[in-house]
Structure formats: C-alpha cells, structure tokens
C-alpha cells in the first residue's frame, strides 16, 4: 500500500507531513501534490480516454470487453476534495491511500464476521458489522483499511478519522492487468480534530486474508508522521 502526498523531491526519504495552520506557503506543496495525483480521476480526464467505457461496478458486476470499473473524485467526501484544498486550509488534512499495482494479484476478502482477525481494530470491526447489516447480511468483498496511532500516545492525539468513499478497496477493481483506461481505487482519510503542535506517528494497514502484515519489514501497511502547527 502507498499514500499521498509525499514530501518534496529534495526530502523524498522523509515520511513527515508537516504544515503550519493558516500558512499558505507551508500548505501549498501538500495541496498541489494531492490535486496533481487525483487528476486522472476527474471527469475531464475520463472523457479523454477514448475507447474505454466506464461502469459503476458492484460485487456482482461482470465487465464486458472494453469496460472498466469507474472511480471518480466526485465520490470523495468531506474536506477531501480539491475545492476544499484537501482539508489543509481547515485543520482537517487528508491523505490518499492506494494499493500498489501488482500484476495479476487477486485479493481474498474476509467472507464472514467470524473470519475477522483478533488484532483488527474494534472500530473497523464495528464498521464492517454495520456494513453487513445494511447489506442484508452480505459481507462486502473489500480490502479493508484502518489508520491508527502507532503508540498509545499517538492514538490519544490522533482525533477522529473519516474515510471516503469507502473504508477499503472493493475487490472488483482487481486484478490489475495494465489494461487501457484502468484507474486504481483510492481511499481518502480525513484527520479531524487532530491535536496540534504534536508529532503523531500514523500507521495505515490493509486487511484481507492474503495480505501479509509485518511491521518490521513494512508489509501490508504504510506509516508516516503528521504535525499541524
């Protein structure tokens, strides 16, 4: 899994997202980076891809030749839009999560509530249970995601998180086959009421039966630091 925005090229090995609230100059890099990254998901970009028909997919969709599952930036919610400067102007910064493109890889989603791992955050388990209840007891076929503070102190300062358009990546976007017109799904995470002037270590993890998690070797997760001054 990867994330955006990344630091400037002269500091590319850093994983720190830092900006000063209300300071346009310190926010501009993060805002511009997200806007640039999301350009392929705009209506204008979609219309330019001739020969591809975009379909609003579901877990039961069967694509025909020349069709691809649609993903549009119009589905992102809250402050996680270009029009809202991705939340950086309103103390609710957003990050974008994405799955790295692995040719031919097919996710194995959890099929029942009983299969959910013991170490999955309770907030995500509750969300999944709510989704199942809202879907006539059908488990959505999804690579679930969760973002947490790496340590108890980080968790205390993290605040509330809002995910959109889903708290995970629908399995119908996979496998990646490098076909023309393919747009990978993303998850926007909005950090709300995060404590200012504190360095917060954040870990975002992907959840599926065939995703290996190893913090030491950085498998199945991304981590970064966030400071809002």
**Tell me, what CATH number does 154's domain have?**
2.60.40.1660
Confidence of residue 50 (pLDDT cuts 50, 70, 90): confident
Q: Distance between CA 110 and CA 74 in Å, rounded? A: 28
Taking all residues of the chain, what is their mean pLDDT, rounded to a whole number? Answer: 93
- Tell me the residue range of the domain where 219 lies: 2-228
**Global pTM?**
0.94
Report in angstroms the alpha-carbon separations of 199 from 72, 75, 194.
32, 30, 11
pLDDT tens digit sequence for 76-123:
999 999 999 999 998 899 999 999 988 989 999 999 999 999 999 999
Report the C-alpha dihedral over residues 215, 216, 218, 221, rounded to 10 degrees.
10
Report in angstroms the alpha-carbon separations of 47 from 44, 53, 73, 102, 179.
5, 10, 14, 26, 17
What is the structure's pLDDT at 219?
87
Q: Distance between CA 30 and CA 1 in Å, rounded? A: 19
Q: Distance between CA 229 and CA 223 in Å, rounded? A: 20
> Quick check: 5 pLDDT over 90?
yes
Q: In sequence order, which residues have a C-beta less than 8 Å from that of residue 136 and are 6 or more positions away?
A: none
Confidence of residue 13 (pLDDT cuts 50, 70, 90): low
Angle at 26 (CA atoms; ends 226, 146), nearest 5 degrees? 25
What is the structure's pLDDT at 166?
97
Bridge partners of residue 204, in order along the sequence: 147, 222
Q: Say if residues 33 and 4 touch (Cβ distance below 8 Å).
A: yes
Total domains present in the chain: 1
Q: In sequence order, which residues have a C-beta less than 8 Å from that of residue 54 and are 6 or more positions away?
A: 46, 67, 68, 69, 70, 181
Average pLDDT over residues 152-157: 94
Confidence of residue 181 (pLDDT cuts 50, 70, 90): confident
What is the structure's pLDDT at 171?
96
Write out 127-168 in H/E/C secondary structure: HHHHHHHHCCCCCCCEEEEEEEECCHHHHHHHCEEEEECCCE
Length of the chain, in residues: 229
User: Two tokens at 162?
Assistant: 């809002």
The torsion angles phi and psi of 27, rounded to 5 degrees, stand at: -90, -25
Confidence of residue 70 (pLDDT cuts 50, 70, 90): very high
Q: Say if residues 42 and 48 touch (Cβ distance below 8 Å).
A: no
Q: In sequence order, which residues have a C-beta less than 8 Å from that of residue 183 and are 6 or more positions away?
A: 40, 41, 46, 68, 70, 71
What is the structure's pLDDT at 33?
96
């Amino acid at each position: 899994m990867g994330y955006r925005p990344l630091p400037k090229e002269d500091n590319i090995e850093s994983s720190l997202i830092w900006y000063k609230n209300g300071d346009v100059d310190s926010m501009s890099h993060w805002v511009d980076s997200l806007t640039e990254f999301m350009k392929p998901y705009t209506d204008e970009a979609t219309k330019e891809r001739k020969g591809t028909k975009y379909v609003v997919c579901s877990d039961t969709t069967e694509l025909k030749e020349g069709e691809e599952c649609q993903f549009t930036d119009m589905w992102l919610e809250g402050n996680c839009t270009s029009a809202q400067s991705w939340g950086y102007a309103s103390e609710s910064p957003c990050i974008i999560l994405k799955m790295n493109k692995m040719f031919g890889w097919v996710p194995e989603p959890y099929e029942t509530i009983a299969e959910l791992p013991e170490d999955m955050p309770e907030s995500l388990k509750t969300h999944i249970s709510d989704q199942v209840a809202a879907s006539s007891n059908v488990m959505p076929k999804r690579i679930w995601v969760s973002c947490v503070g790496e340590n108890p102190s980080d968790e205390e300062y993290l605040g509330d998180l809002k995910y959109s358009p889903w708290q995970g990546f629908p399995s119908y976007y996979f496998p990646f086959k490098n076909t023309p017109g393919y747009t990978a799904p993303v998850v926007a995470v909005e950090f709300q009421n995060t404590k200012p002037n504190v360095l917060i270590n954040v870990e975002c993890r992907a959840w599926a039966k065939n995703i290996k998690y190893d913090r030491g070797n950085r498998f199945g997760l991304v981590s970064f630091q966030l400071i809002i001054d």
